[in-house]
Structure 1
Amino acid sequence: MRAFRQAVEARDESAIEALLADDIRFTSPVAFQPYLGRHITAAILRGVMRVMGDGFRYVGEYTSEDGRDHALRFETTIDGKTLTGCDFIHVNADGEIDDFVVMVRPLSAAQALAAAMGAEFDRIGAEATEAAAKEA
C-alpha cells in the first residue's frame, strides 16, 4: 500500500481520495457504525490529518501474500497522549481501497481522538456533502 502511505506522509489529500473506491466502507475506532462512501471517508481522513497533525508517522507495514490486505501501524500524540494504531486496508480487484478499518490504543488516547474528531465532525459532514453535490 505504498501509494496510500506516501500520500498520507505527503499530506496529499487529492492523492488519498483518488485511491478510494466509490463504495468504500470505513470503520472508525470511535464510532459504532461504519461510514459508507468515498466522499465521507475522504472527509474523515482529512479530519484525521488535521487532528493528528505533523506528529503522525507510520512505523510498520505488513502485506498479505496476495497483496490485497495491508496493515499500516502508526503512532502520534493527541492532547498529550501517545496513541498507537493500525490501519487495516483491503483493496479491490481494481486496486482501489474498498475497506478501511482503524484500531487505536490505549483507551485514554482513543478518548482524546474521539473528542478531537467530534470537534471536527460538522466540518467533515459539510466537506462530504459539498463534494457529493459537486459530483452530482
Structure 2
Amino acid sequence: MSTAAEALARWHAVVESRDPAGLAPLIAEDAVFHSPAVHTPQVGRDTVVGYLTAAFTVLGPELSYVREWLGADSAVLHFRTKVGGLDVEGIDMITWDADGQIVDFTVMVRPRKALDAVIEHMGAELMRMLEASGA
C-alpha cells in the first residue's frame, strides 16, 4: 500500500528527470487521461504514457510546479511553463490507487491562446511519435 505523498514523490522524481522511461511503472493498466485538447477520455497505460511522454517534450525544461494540494488519494498540481513563446499555466489533477499507481490524470490549461499552442505542439509531437514507432 502506498500513500498519496509517496506516489506524488515518485511523480515529481520522474518529472524532474524528464525521462519518460520512468512513466510506465507509475501508471495503472486501466488508467484514464483527460486532455484539455481531446473530448474523449484516453484509456490504458500505453495511451496515458504516450500522452505524458509527449507532454514532457512539449512542456519542456521550463515546466515547474508552483503549488500543490494533496488529498488522501489525489493531488492537484499547479504548473507554469512556456510553449511556442507563450506563458502557459495549468493544473494536473492526479488520482492514485492503493498501490500508488496513477488511475486518473486530468490536465487543464489557460489562457486560451496558450491552450491553442499546447494543442498544436502536442498534436505535432504525438504525430512524430506515431511515425517514429512505425504505427
TM range (shorter): 0.7 to 0.9
Structure 2 contact 96–104 (Cα < 8 Å) conserved: yes
TM-score of the superposition, structure 2-length normalised?
0.87
Gaps of 5+ in 1: 131-136
What letter is aligned with 1:43?
Answer: G
The equivalent residue for 1:35 is 42
1:54 aligned residue: 61
The reply to whether residue 73 of structure 1 matches residue 65 of structure 2 is no
Aligned to 1:99: 104
Output the TM-score relative to the length of structure 1. 0.87
Q: Which runs of 5+ in 2 are unaligned?
A: 1-7
Is the CA contact 1:40–1:128 (under 8 Å) kept in the aligned structure 2? no
- What is the DSSP-based 3-state SS (H/G/I as helix, E as strand, rest coil) of the residue aligned with 1:54? coil
Q: Is the 1:39–1:128 contact (alpha carbons within 8 Å) kept by the matching residues of 2?
A: no
Q: Structure 1 counterpart of 2:17, which letter?
A: A
Q: Percent identity?
A: 34
The alpha-carbon distance between structure 1 residues 122 and 70, as it changes in their structure 2 partners (threshold 3 A), is same
Match among 93, 102, 106 for residue 88 of structure 1: 93
Structure 1 position 4 matched with structure 2 position 11: yes
Q: How far apart are residue 14 of structure 1 and its match?
A: 2.0
Q: In 1, distance between residues paired with 2:28 and 2:131?
A: 20
- Partner of 1:112: helix, strand, or coil? helix
8 Å CA contact 2:20, 2:56 repeated in 1: no
The one-letter code of the counterpart of 1:114 is I
Cα shift at 1:12: 2.4
1:87-129 Cα shifts (integer Å, max 9, x gaps): 1000011111000000010000000000001112223445788
Give me the whole-angstrom Cα distance separating, in 2, the residues matched to 1:129 and 1:31.
23
